[in-house]
Amino acid sequence: MELKEKQLKSEQIYKGAIINLFLDDISLPDGNTAKREYVRHPGGICVVPVTDEGEIMLVRQYRYPYGEEVIEIPAGKRDSADEDPLEGGKRELKEELGITAEKFISLGTFYPTPGYTDEVIYMYAAFGLTFGETDPDEDEFVLPEKIKLEKLVDMIMAGEIPDGKTQAAVLKVAHLLKNTDS
């Protein structure tokens, strides 16, 4: 059985500065029809900055939808669909933590919520860090955090880091470094 759904009709029902909401009529694999609500998003980038001492540089910021402060890796949306994800990652790292890096390793992509958005987050690890001045967006307020990789993995496993992209990227870095060191 082929699982692909076919778009029959698409209607944009909201156009925002970051997201656009659509309501589509689709044909299901069995020939029946259904509706799909989904959000189009330009995509994002996140970076796990690893210090020479094995610490991860993070940011603590207030996340309005959850009504709480969240510890996460530096991240942001792509400026456009044409923006090179690595260049966007370098920009976010500099804006949020004032960091430039000598080496970046791609950690692949992450689909944060495939049930209702087409957002793709490109994940990177950064090494050979140099610290300088931050350059945050005018509506961006973050506090830097530095946590040893091993402790951060323990925090993730204990449910203390709820952010999905941070969980995925940090666990990938831990796996990468464990297999590189052996």
R_g (Cα) of the chain, nearest Å: 19
61-64 contact pairs (CB < 8 A, 24+): 61/140, 61/141, 61/142, 61/143, 62/141
Residues 134 and 59: beta-carbon distance below 8 Å: no
CB burial of residue 39 (10 Å; 0-12, 13-18, 19+): middle
Token readout for 89 is: 């990652």
- With H, G, I as helix, E, B as strand and everything else as coil, classify residue 56: strand
Whole-angstrom distance, CA of residue 36 vs CA of residue 24:
5
**Does the annotation count 138 as an active-site position?**
yes
Catalytic residue among 2, 53, 102, 138: 138
Residues 93 and 126: beta-carbon distance below 8 Å: yes
Which sequence positions are flagged as catalytic?
138
